[in-house]
Chain A
Amino acid sequence: MKTRIKELRARYDLTQEDLAKKVGVRRETILFIEKGRYNPSIKLAHDIAKALQTTIDELFIFDDQ
């Protein structure tokens, strides 16, 4: 799974810390999601998408293979 979190964070000038505080998680969690090493819950994915003014579909790119 790939994400566009980093790209959208840059668009809104948000650091990992800022985003983490907005969605109520630790900074490492955002880091691991960005790297594709942690699959967030639907609730967290929704919260991140909302914080970045996008949708879950737009934020996460699922590799079918």
Chain B
Amino acid sequence: MNQRTVNRLWLAATAAVSLIGFVVFGIILGGVLASAVFAVIVATGSASLWVVWRKRQDRKAGYPIKDERTKILEGRAAYYTVFISTYMMLALLWYNFIIAKVFDLPVLTTSTHVNQVLIGLTLATVSVFVGLRWYFMRKGDAV
């Protein structure tokens, strides 16, 4: 089985388990938060295992884990992720200051929404980084 097939199977299994867990927890506990927490734990655990497995495969094959290209492109992805995350946090602030009041929506507070906001921001930031890393790795770096 080649690398690409293993990657796709791994991703599909993670998505399936996360989705099933999300639905089941949603039904049993009746809460989106518990479902989201489960999905985050499964996704994080699966991604960590995949990274460890991939590194072992590369090391066995005699490749370096990171070379100059991966370091440069990961650095670029991280650079853009910082800016995008900042804009996401600013968007939340704007929501609280203006949108929630204008459209009469619930204001996000630490006593009621902190978990949802933290999970949401964490997921969004990780997704942005993974997406940008993938994009830069495919696009290359040529001037």
Contact = CB atoms under 8 A, between A and B. Distances in A.
Interface residues of B, number: 15
Contacts, number: 47
B68 A29 contact: yes
A31 to B, nearest CB: 10
Interface in A39-65: 39-41, 43-44
A4 interface: no
B139 A26 contact: no
Interface bracket on A: 20 to 34
Contact of B68 (A20, A25, A35): A25
Contact of A28 (B61, B69, B143): B69
A7 to B, nearest CB: 19
A23 B121 CA distance: 40
Contacts of A17: 61
B67 A38 contact: no
B68 A37 contact: no
A59 to B, nearest CB: 16
